């Protein structure tokens, strides 16, 4: 019996899983990952990072080069995709165009030889679940993109799998519909309590929907955390730059003060920051500082900021819920500030001189 079988909370386990294409391309490198029962886990990363390959190995459409994948403690590496009992939602919907919505939904149940009455009842139930009652008689080309996506989700859920995989399912939708579907899928997950593994390259989508996010780069997981931790406390330079907008400052550690470090910038000024990196706990070490735009403030004379820096405004952009200010700071390069859309207490215009302020705990010192 595997370790996964002895832990009822582990639904899926990747253990030292690798995938190589040919002799040179290693798409996934020694992947160790536990997917917990009932969670919404997102695999996030840029194109070519390995996230989709990992999902396809779990689905059975790719075969691992090494390692083991288990579901409920049972090794599935050599089990055909149609016998894994996994629901799958693709970006292109993969609906049968010659079938009605009801026939598309009934198909997975017919191949499992369920009775006609139960099939009809499940089709009706799942159409209500995805808010498409009464549309069972239409064909896919008579539906909007969002409706087709709902049907694809319904088809993945209709045979009541304990595990559902989604590969960029909202990529073909426009921004407003995409955002609406994010909340609808999240709500379906909350109501059903089944395990979802979701692939996307959209950071906002991942932060919105997930219980945990695994950030992939170059075939490995760079960080696995809940959305708040991932955004507020990225552990690597890559994660800080990939998740959300980020100001980056380069410097050298001047002093170590407990959990904090003093960092000297190219301008000669010193910035106090929270030490996150593993290799920066000594004076003279190179460091990258990560600072979110919304954590900067326009500091007045009485501002209680751990760090302040004089800057010149280059650009002011009204975005709606916030104002985006691009500043040039001597020795620190370009800094982006996001200010809530309310009175800032001063007039901002290109060429204005400002004082920027931020707290030490909001400035993360990472390995370069």
Write the DSSP assignment of 203-261 as a string of letters. HHHHHHH-SEEEEEETTEEEEEE-HHHHHHS--SHHHHHHSS--EEEEEEEEEEETTEE
Judge whether 266 and 331 are in contact, CB under 8 Å: yes
**Quick one: pLDDT at residue 302?**
54
Based on the domain organization, do 119 and 228 belong to the same domain?
A: yes
Based on the domain organization, do 192 and 142 belong to the same domain?
A: yes
**Quick one: pLDDT at residue 347?**
67
CA distance 275 to 272: 9
Burial (0-12, 13-18, 19+ Cβ within 10 Å), 193: exposed
**Quick one: pLDDT at residue 4?**
43
Based on the domain organization, do 174 and 304 belong to the same domain?
A: no
The answer to whether the Cα torsion of 342, 344, 347, 350 is positive or negative is: negative
**Quick one: pLDDT at residue 301?**
52
**Quick one: pLDDT at residue 342?**
73
**Quick one: pLDDT at residue 112?**
87
Domain C-terminal end among 172, 207, 238? 238
Based on the domain organization, do 358 and 275 belong to the same domain?
A: yes
Based on the domain organization, do 221 and 250 belong to the same domain?
A: no
Based on the domain organization, do 91 and 134 belong to the same domain?
A: yes
User: Mean pLDDT of all residues in the chain?
Assistant: 90
| pLDDT tens-digit profile, the chain (368 residues) | 444 445 889 999 999 999 999 888 899 999 999 999 999 999 999 999 999 999 999 999 999 999 999 999 999 988 999 889 999 998 887 889 999 999 999 998 988 889 999 999 999 999 998 889 989 999 999 998 888 988 999 999 998 899 999 999 888 788 888 898 899 999 999 999 999 999 999 999 999 999 999 999 999 999 999 999 999 999 999 999 999 899 999 999 999 988 999 999 988 889 999 999 888 878 889 999 999 999 998 876 556 789 988 899 999 998 888 899 999 987 778 899 998 887 555 568 888 888 899 999 999 999 98
Sheet holding 74-75, edge to edge: 25-36, 10-21, 66-71, 74-75
Based on the domain organization, do 319 and 280 belong to the same domain?
A: yes
Query: At a CB cut-off of 8 Å and minimum separation 6, what does 2 contact?
Result: 13, 68, 70, 73, 75
**Quick one: pLDDT at residue 349?**
86
**CATH number of the domain encompassing residue 11:** 3.40.50.300
Strand partners, 19: 28
**CATH number of the domain encompassing residue 358:** 2.40.50.100
Length of the chain counted residue by residue:
368
Total number of domains constituting the chain: 2
**Nearest 5 degrees, angle CA 160-CA 164-CA 166?**
140
**Quick one: pLDDT at residue 8?**
86
- The secondary structure of the chain in percent helix, strand, coil, rounded to multiples of 5, reads 25, 35, 35
**Quick one: pLDDT at residue 92?**
81
Based on the domain organization, do 255 and 229 belong to the same domain?
A: no
Based on the domain organization, do 157 and 279 belong to the same domain?
A: no
Judge whether 130 and 151 are in contact, CB under 8 Å: yes
Query: From residue 323, how far is each of 170, 319, 337, 349, 359 by CA, in Å?
Result: 29, 6, 8, 12, 20
Domain C-terminal end among 238, 255, 276? 238
Domain C-terminal end among 202, 223, 238? 238
Based on the domain organization, do 38 and 66 belong to the same domain?
A: yes
Based on the domain organization, do 34 and 125 belong to the same domain?
A: yes
Q: Where are the beta strands (DSSP E) in 23-173?
A: 25-36, 40-44, 66-71, 74-75, 86-89, 163-167
Based on the domain organization, do 268 and 196 belong to the same domain?
A: no
Q: Which domain holds residue 185?
A: 3-238
CA distance 75 to 68: 7
């Amino acid at each position: 019996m595997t370790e996964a079988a002895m832990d009822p909370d582990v639904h899926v386990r990747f253990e030292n899983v690798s995938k190589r294409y040919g002799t040179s391309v290693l798409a996934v490198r020694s992947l160790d990952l536990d997917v917990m029962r009932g969670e919404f886990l997102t695999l996030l990363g840029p194109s070519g990072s390995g996230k989709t390959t990992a999902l396809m190995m779990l689905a059975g459409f790719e075969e691992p080069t090494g390692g083991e994948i288990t579901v409920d403690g049972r090794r599935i590496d050599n089990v055909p995709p149609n016998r894994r009992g996994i629901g799958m939602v693709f970006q292109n919907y993969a609906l049968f165009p010659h079938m009605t919505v009801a026939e598309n939904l009934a198909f997975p149940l017919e191949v499992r030889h369920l009775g006609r009455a139960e099939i009809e009842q499940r089709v009706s139930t799942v159409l209500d679940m995805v808010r498409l009652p009464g549309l069972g008689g239409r064909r896919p080309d008579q539906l909007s993109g969002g409706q087709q996506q709902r049907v694809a989700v319904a088809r993945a859920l209709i045979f009541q799998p304990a595990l559902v995989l989604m590969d960029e399912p909202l990529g073909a939708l426009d921004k407003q519909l995409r955002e609406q579907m994010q909340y609808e899928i999240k709500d379906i997950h909350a109501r059903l309590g089944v395990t979802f593994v979701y692939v996307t390259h959209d950071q906002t989508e991942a932060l919105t929907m997930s219980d945990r996010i695994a950030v992939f780069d170059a075939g490995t997981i760079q960080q696995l955390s809940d959305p708040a931790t991932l955004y507020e406390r990225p552990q690597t330079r890559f994660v800080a730059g990939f998740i959300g907008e980020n100001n980056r400052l380069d410097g050298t550690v001047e002093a170590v003060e407990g959990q904090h470090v003093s960092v000297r910038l190219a301008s000669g000024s010193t910035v106090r920051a929270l030490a996150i990196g593993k290799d920066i706990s000594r004076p003279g070490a190179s460091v990258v500082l990560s600072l979110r735009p919304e954590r900067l403030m326009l500091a007045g004379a009485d501002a209680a900021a751990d760090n302040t820096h004089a800057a010149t405004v280059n650009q002011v952009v009204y975005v709606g819920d916030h104002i985006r200010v691009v500043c040039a700071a001597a020795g620190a390069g370009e800094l982006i500030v996001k200010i809530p859309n309310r009175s800032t207490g001063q007039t901002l215009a290109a060429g204005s001189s400002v004082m920027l302020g931020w707290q030490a705990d909001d400035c993360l010192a990472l390995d370069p």
